[in-house]
Amino acid sequence: MRRYSLLRITPFLAVALLASCGGAERTGTTESEAPQKTKVRVEQVQLVPIEQISTFTATVEADQVNNIAPAMGGRIREIKVDIGAQVRRGQVLVIMDKVNLSQQQTQVATMKRDYERYKELYEVGGISKQQLDQAKAQLDVAEYALNSLDENTTLTSPVNGVVTARNFDPGDVAGQLPILTIESINPVKVKVNVSESYYSQVVKGMPVEVLVDALANESFQGTVSLIHPTLDPIAHTFTVEILVSNSDQRLRPGMFARVKMNFGTNERPLLSDRAVLKQVGSNDRYVFVEKEGKAIYTLVQLGTRINDKYEIVSGLNNGDKVIVQGNTGLIDGTEVEIVE
């Protein structure tokens, strides 16, 4: 009798156990499917004064470049300097053949003696005033030609500088190329092409900073000396010339440089670099702004990097809450929860 009762009760127990397990399983599924908000940390945007410094690439050039050559061709007798030599203003550099000079000197001496005789004849009435004036005019022309020949026989440096090119040797006949090139490198001139958006902000006398790669990014102070009046219609830039003192002559023409120009101070957002993400496949930068519990995709334009922060030129407003942690993998509209 007891055996019959046990057999009868056992199926009911099994059904009850199965029902219990199924209910628990269904309850567990419901709980796991409940949406979980992404926990994030935010940084509130504040406007701070930021110096508006822009950097442009540039090239160092000589302040003056002089090509030493005679006005008329001739044979070179002596070259007194070589490439790299330091020269002074007025220093003799090249001596040309003096045959023509000697002939002209003889002619001028003869014409001077003739003129003196003409003056004596004029005083006693032997010739007219017109004849005397003609003799004086001929002498003046001959003396001018002599001075010109003298200048083209002994060539001197018009500036203090350094010899940067030598195209002939003694005995050569000077042709179209200059015999020597002299460059004045104290001060030097730095030429930079500046974006046209800054045209009204660059002024003559404006101080700038010049960094030179070849000298381990050493900084030099310069001054805007010339602003070209026309702009490049293709590149939309204008040329600015900057004078930099170079008394020790460490700066040399041809060196690559970067010019930093300070255009004052603006109130701009300054944001942690952890908040800024790069758009895959483009150069766009974006952040996520928390609004009403959601992450909002926002494009931004970056300015200057200052330590671990970026200046934000556009895209954000004062008071915006920008996600700085937990932003990886977010998509526009994702529900988020702010944690401290």
Ranges of residues in the chain with a pLDDT under 50 are: 1-32
Please tell me the distance from the alpha carbon of residue 49 to that of residue 176, in angstroms, as a whole number. 58
Quick one: 154 exposed, middle or buried, by C-beta within 10 A (0-12, 13-18, 19+)? middle
* Closest of 248, 336, 249 to residue 289, by C-alpha: 336
φ and ψ at residue 120, rounded to 5 degrees: -65, -40
pLDDT tens sequence across 186-223? 999 999 999 998 999 999 999 999 999 999 989 999 99
- CATH code of the domain occupying 55-61+185-264: 2.40.30.170
Q: How far apart are CA 97 and CA 186, in angstroms?
A: 33
CATH topology assigned to domain 39-51+267-338 = 2.40.420
The tokens 């909002």 sit on which residue? 296
Single out the residue of 310, 318, 295 nearest to residue 39, CA to CA. 295
What does the pLDDT read at residue 251?
A: 95
Q: Which residues contact 31 (CB under 8 A, 6 or more apart)?
A: none
pLDDT at 19: 46
pLDDT of residue 111: 85
Q: What is the pLDDT of residue 109?
A: 86
Helix 99-123 and helix 129-153, axial crossing angle in degrees, nearest 10: 160
Q: Each residue of 167-187: pLDDT tens digit?
A: 999 999 887 789 999 999 999
Q: Tell me the domain boundaries of the chain.
A: 39-51+267-338, 55-61+185-264, 70-166
